[in-house]
Structure 1
């Protein structure tokens, strides 16, 4: 699922191979050429706002695509102006190449999958092994009534004020690498009985045991193994159950996967206490950025005001860096990323 807030990237084709980047938020003018060989970033301290644009060129170059024309920013823009037809599934892998190989971030495919494959009113269920999505409507009984803005909940997006790049902080990559030390558990999940899994976990190092607990409990919450799963709760339109599972995921991220900074954990806990909030968690790894919450539609503004006030008490310096009208956003579910043409038509990714 995406939200109805995002970043607009305006782009025009040029007659040469130079990329020119300007931002309304960041200073400076960036220039580079699409026919220059882009090399992975060795030092995370060198990552800045232009890096994803260079990374998009890197990913396309290393996948054999010939770039002659120029678009301002990222994969979809470069593909559009170079007349490249690339599927969403292939773009997910290209984005993974940017993150893993160019930026040095050890993430998977869930983020780009949500961005490129989401549909309004649906929960996107992603099989990461096959990279194939399926879609679950919110309440199977109301498929025909799910017009834009008519779902019975809102999404709160609460910004923390933390903005460092993930590769600059070792926490996220360290968690991923520690999880990869569990190959026996991961590879034999389908063959090992529950009591055997927990026996193996008991003899692991304490931190690896917690990582395994998070991994398996997340799988249960999403699709199988529990009496109630996120997929089932969403399909039945049961927001209370869905919220409880989202919050349980957030707690496990903190306690078992040991993600999250002090500030992000504070923000998560404030969201859980806000009026009308049904569930909350980090929006990503929990080391920067924001937390999100599912909230009852008629209490969304009240909840947003509560979160903004309480987080400002806890972190006044961080909050002072965020424009007042962006500290807590009241959002609705959105659709996938796409190119918007000058005449208003939309091209899906």
Structure 2
């Protein structure tokens, strides 16, 4: 990476040398370093906006530098203005990660199953700038408490707040690539919290910003691994790689089809003959907290079933934590399933049936059969309720409402399924009728949540466009 002196950058940017020097002192030029009395600046560094100009006063997607390319309806501008109000300067960049939905493949990635997914055209935004002292200072517009820590001395134990995921990510990244520069940042989500992998989206958004500030370039797999590690090791959630993979690998108008055992994937294009579709997201009004839910218990029950069957069948097995349902052939499961405790057997039944549904769903999508695909999604929802035994009364009611609402091809819980939301694949022609019907029936069943319930229409989008 070629570095230029202040006078050379000033000539390149067509501005005064003292202006460039001031930007360097304020930490507004990424990668600028002071060597003795001289500032050295990367040749490809982005020119900060001059707050004296009309261009800066009317911040738009075009004049705010970012490596994430996404057409949003205000989310970017919202965090930019929040950052400017808080720090009285423009952010140097904005990072974005989309939410995701998983129509088929629920509760299977952590045991090396197959999954499907879409990235949505809504997500998490973060406006940020560097702090040369190594302090990370970050605020969320969805939580009151501001979080702070030092990149080189992040608390070893979680603190029980919304920023734990980011502390875990800082530690995981710093173990691989020593960090020097911190950040001031403001983040916000476009949809309510719960069921759309907002935690994974926040982590990836944060990692992308922190890497850019420290001139670190991660491969896709590194982003996914570090994000998963933050949740597994620091936060204490036994999640797999589904969320992070969808948020990075998905492409607009394509169904992501991925094998979590060998990490191979393909994006299956929407068949030109397929009927039109869009996504409806129905929020129950209940807040979602994965770490305090029964999520980890379900994972352990499923892994226990695999461990027990291996013992019954005389198969080789090692550590419990390294045992996966994918290790057990289906015919071996059928032979020994009656020996399992009922709840273990139910978890395994869901895992195998979901595995087959994913394969059938990928084929149906490729063939353009959205009715068949939707039917499989409804079956997945039923199995999550009755075999994996997730779902609050509110989410179960939403699921039942969806099954009898005209124009919905298929739907199920989104995310862990204990609180949060449901997703549905719908016919756009019935959009207005669907939104009206679901709201009326749900609020009639749970009037105390009428002021918290909400619904959104979304479309597929690209996953994160990472810096090259």
d(CA) in 1 for partners of 2:284, 2:177: 38
Deviates more, 1:270-279 or 1:240-249: 270-279
Structure 1 contact 40–101 (Cα < 8 Å) conserved? no
Which residue of the other structure, out of 220, 232, 248, is the alignment partner of 1:116?
A: 248
Give the CA deviation at 1:188: 4.7
Offset, 1:134: 1.5
- Aligned with residue 288 of structure 1, among 387, 400, 419: 419
Asked if 1:129 is matched to 2:242, the reply is no
From 109, 130, 149, give the equivalent of 1:13: 130
Deviation per residue, 1:273-296 (Å, 9 max, x gap): 222001011111101211100000
Q: Is the 8 A contact 1:301 1:330 kept in 2?
A: no
The aligned counterpart of 2:346 is 210
Name the Cα RMSD after superposition. 2.0
Q: Is the 8 A contact 2:166 2:230 kept in 1?
A: no
Correspondence for 1:297 among 428, 442, 447: 428
Contact 1:121 1:151 in 2 (8 A): no
Counterpart mapping for 1:228-239 below 5 A: 229-239=360-370
Structure 2 counterpart of 1:155, from 279, 301, 306: 279
Q: Report the Cα distance in structure 1 between the residues aligned to 2:450 and 2:208, rounded to whole angstroms.
A: 33
Q: Secondary structure at the match of 2:182?
A: coil
- TM-score w.r.t. the length of structure 2 is 0.64
Tell me the SS of whatever aligns to 2:388: coil
Q: Where do residues 212-291 of structure 1 align in structure 2 (5 Å cutoff)?
A: 212-223=348-359, 229-291=360-422
Q: Distance in 2 between matches of 1:96 and 1:40?
A: 17
Partner of 2:459: 332
Paired position in structure 2 for 1:177: 300
Q: 1:10 to 1:137 in 2, by over 3 A?
A: same
Structure 1: runs of 5+ lacking an equivalent = 143-149, 224-228, 339-346
Does structure 1 retain, via aligned residues, the 8 Å contact 2:136–2:182? yes
Moved more, 4-13 or 234-243: 4-13
User: Per-residue CA shift, 1:71-106, capped at 9, x if unaligned?
Assistant: 436211111111111011111111110111010001
Q: In 1, are the aligned partners of 2:281 and 2:455 still within 8 Å (CA)?
A: yes
1:185-207 Cα offsets, whole Å, 9 max, x none, are: 635544x53xx532311221111
Q: SS of 2:246's equivalent?
A: helix
The reply on whether 1:4 has 2:121 as its aligned counterpart is yes
Q: Which of these two proteins has the greater Rg computed from alpha carbons?
A: 2
Q: Compute the displacement of 1:299 (Å).
A: 1.1
Contact map agreement 1:17 1:68 (CA 8 A) in 2: yes
Displacement, 1:348?
5.2
How far apart are 1:117 and its partner, in Å?
A: 0.9
* 1:57 and 2:160 correspond: no
* Aligned equivalent of 1:48, options 137, 161, 171: 161
1:31 is matched with which residue: 144, 148, 155? Answer: 148
Q: Is the 8 A contact 1:304 1:330 kept in 2?
A: no
Partners of 1:79 and 1:328 in 2: how far apart?
34
The residue that corresponds to 2:215 in the other structure is: 83
* 3-state SS of paired residue (2:154): coil
CA contact (8 A) 2:149 2:155 kept: no
Q: How many residues align?
A: 315
Q: Are the counterparts in 2 of residues 89 and 131 from structure 1 also a CA contact under 8 Å?
A: no
Distance in 2 separating the partners of 1:288 and 1:48: 18
Is the Cα–Cα contact under 8 Å of residues 364 and 370 in structure 2 kept in the other structure? yes
**Maintained 8 Å contact 1:137/1:235:** yes
Structure 1, 306-315 or 279-288: larger mean CA deviation: 306-315
Q: Deviations over 1:115-148 (max 9, x none)?
A: 1111111111112122232221121x56xxxxxx
CA spacing shift, 1:77–1:53, aligned 2, 3 Å: same
Aligned to 1:342: none
- The alignment partner of 1:76 has SS state of helix
Shift of 1:48: 2.2
Q: Shift of the alpha carbon at 1:151?
A: 7.6
Q: By how many angstroms is 1:255 displaced?
A: 0.4
Alpha carbons 2:136, 2:148 under 8 Å: kept: yes
Aligned to 1:165: 289
Give the number of the structure whose residues are more often strand, by fraction: 2
